[in-house]
Amino acid sequence: MTTDDIEAALAVRAPAFDGLPDDPPAPPPEARPRAADWWQTRTRHLIETGEGACVVAEDDREDDGGAGGVIGFATSLQRDDLWCLATFAVLPDRHGAGIGRALLDAVDPGGRAMLSSSVHPGAMRTYHRRGFRLTPMMRLEGTLDRRGLPAVTGVREGSPADLDLLDAVDRRVRGAARRIDHRLMLDAGHRLLVVDSGTRAGYASIDGDALEVLAATDEDTAADLMRTVLAEGPGSAWVPHVSGANSWAVAVGLDAGLLPRTTGYLATRGMAPPVPYVHHGSLL
Ligand SMILES: CC(C)(COP(=O)(O)OP(=O)(O)OC[C@H]1O[C@@H](n2cnc3c(N)ncnc32)[C@H](O)[C@@H]1OP(=O)(O)O)[C@@H](O)C(=O)NCCC(=O)NCCS
């Protein structure tokens, strides 16, 4: 896959993910105005950094829905010994013909791995067959009750000067640093919050008002970071990608008036679901 394929991949991604069964509707577009642009920026980053394979499946048939020959694709990233699948999709009228399996055969190096699985039956079967374990995942959403957000101390604004701290927390929580992805998020204008008080450390990356990823040395620090993000955000809040292993996040959300909704699965292979952690949907 090259950066020239990104537009064609986007044309596969949209119909593939549209109307997945039991997937709660995503927040309205105005709540995530940069979603498509940000996906393209991330995909370009994955292709250009080249650490982890990104491939397309092409068909030279004329009647393939105008996707420019691309009928499926998989993008991925390798960070230290951890492999993550970022996006994986095949045009709906080509499902079940082995294209997905061939795409994953091309990108999956085996070993320690993590991905955020949709509820599509083909996706869940594919990951199961490749040795992944599925942990249910939730999205917390609703109208914030700020009385459930106690005052927090020790959280400060972060900057590129904190990247060593982020590396240390990532290695501890997920066994792999990913400095290039943090740089990408900072360059894209994401806000960084950090806790760095010797024994306690953690970070949260926020895109607009939405929490993108959070990791910490302990649950109290993680909860303080999440409470800060919620307290400074709008009255209508949502926190995606909370795996069932992270009940501390569900508790913070419930205290603040949010409700959990099941949205898919965190799939892990050769590792337990990271805690305390709110993973990124595609950079994991
Ligand atoms: C997931 C996806 C990429 C798989 O692509 P695909 O080309 O259909 O995959 P394959 O043909 O290799 O099938 C993989 C497995 O899923 C099964 N499968 C595919 N579609 C299925 C369906 N609708 N119902 C049940 N099983 C299905 C296949 O039988 C196969 O299982 P097997 O290994 O036991 O034979 C594709 O279904 C898709 O684009 N889904 C929507 C987007 C999505 O959810 N992407 C994953 C994001 S995490």
Lowest mean pLDDT among 10-14, 54-58, 220-224: 10-14
Q: What percent of the chain has pLDDT over 90?
A: 86
The CATH class for the domain spanning 3-137 reads alpha beta
- Structure confidence by residue, pLDDT tens digits, 244-269: 999 999 999 999 999 999 999 999 99
Residue recorded with tokens 């869940």:
124
Q: Rounded distance, CA 174 to CA 275, Å?
A: 8
Q: Rounded distance, CA 75 to CA 46, Å?
A: 7
What is the dihedral angle through the alpha carbons of 179, 212, 273, 124, rounded to the nearest 10 degrees?
-110
- Average pLDDT of span 28-32: 52
Residues 6+ apart with CB under 8 A from 4: none
Where does the pLDDT of residue 159 fall: very low under 50, low under 70, confident under 90, or very high at 90 and above? very high
Main-chain dihedrals φ then ψ at residue 264, nearest 5 degrees: 150, -150
- Structure confidence by residue, pLDDT tens digits, 220-250: 999 999 999 999 999 999 899 999 999 999 9
> Does the C-beta of 96 come closer than 6 Å to ligand 1?
yes
Using the mean position of ligand 1's atoms as its centre, give its distance from the Cα of residue 119 in Å. 11
Using the mean position of ligand 1's atoms as its centre, give its distance from the Cα of residue 50 in Å. 26
Q: Rounded distance, CA 163 to CA 86, Å?
A: 22
**What residues does each domain of the chain span?**
3-137, 140-263
Q: What is the pLDDT of residue 18?
A: 87
Closest residue CA from atom 34 of ligand 1: 125
Higher-pLDDT residue of 34 and 118 is: 118
> Which atom of ligand 1 approaches the CA of 13 most closely?
42
Indicate the angle between helix axes 163-174 and 179-187, nearest 10 degrees. 130
- Structure confidence by residue, pLDDT tens digits, 124-156: 999 999 999 999 999 999 999 999 999 999 999
> Does the C-beta of 101 come closer than 6 Å to ligand 1?
yes
User: Is pLDDT of 67 > 50?
Assistant: no
> Does the C-beta of 125 come closer than 6 Å to ligand 1?
yes
Closest residue CA from atom 29 of ligand 1: 96
What is the dihedral angle through the alpha carbons of 58, 64, 68, 69, rounded to the nearest 10 degrees?
20
> Does the C-beta of 76 come closer than 6 Å to ligand 1?
no
Where does the pLDDT of residue 34 fall: very low under 50, low under 70, confident under 90, or very high at 90 and above? low
Which numeric CATH code is attached to 140-263? 3.40.630.90
Where does the pLDDT of residue 84 fall: very low under 50, low under 70, confident under 90, or very high at 90 and above? very high
What are the helix and strand counts (H, E) for the chain?
A: 8, 12
Q: What percent of the chain has pLDDT over 70?
A: 92
Tokens coding 23: 């997937």
> Which atom of ligand 1 approaches the CA of 94 most closely?
7
Using the mean position of ligand 1's atoms as its centre, give its distance from the Cα of residue 90 in Å. 8
Q: Rounded distance, CA 31 to CA 54, Å?
A: 29
> Which atom of ligand 1 approaches the CA of 129 most closely?
33
Q: What is the pLDDT of residue 208?
A: 86
Closest residue CA from atom 37 of ligand 1: 122
Where does the pLDDT of residue 63 fall: very low under 50, low under 70, confident under 90, or very high at 90 and above? low
Closest residue CA from atom 1 of ligand 1: 123
Q: What is the pLDDT of residue 66?
A: 47
- Structure confidence by residue, pLDDT tens digits, 187-226: 999 999 999 998 999 999 999 888 999 999 999 999 999 9
With the most atoms of ligand 1 within 8 angstroms of its CB, the residue from 94, 120, 241, 284 to mutate is 120
Spell out where 16-69 has E strands.
Answer: 54-58
Using the mean position of ligand 1's atoms as its centre, give its distance from the Cα of residue 88 in Å. 10
Residue type, 265: Y
> Does the C-beta of 50 come closer than 6 Å to ligand 1?
no
Q: What is the pLDDT of residue 60?
A: 74
Q: What is the pLDDT of residue 23?
A: 55
Domains 3-137 and 140-263 share a fold: yes
> Does the C-beta of 89 come closer than 6 Å to ligand 1?
yes
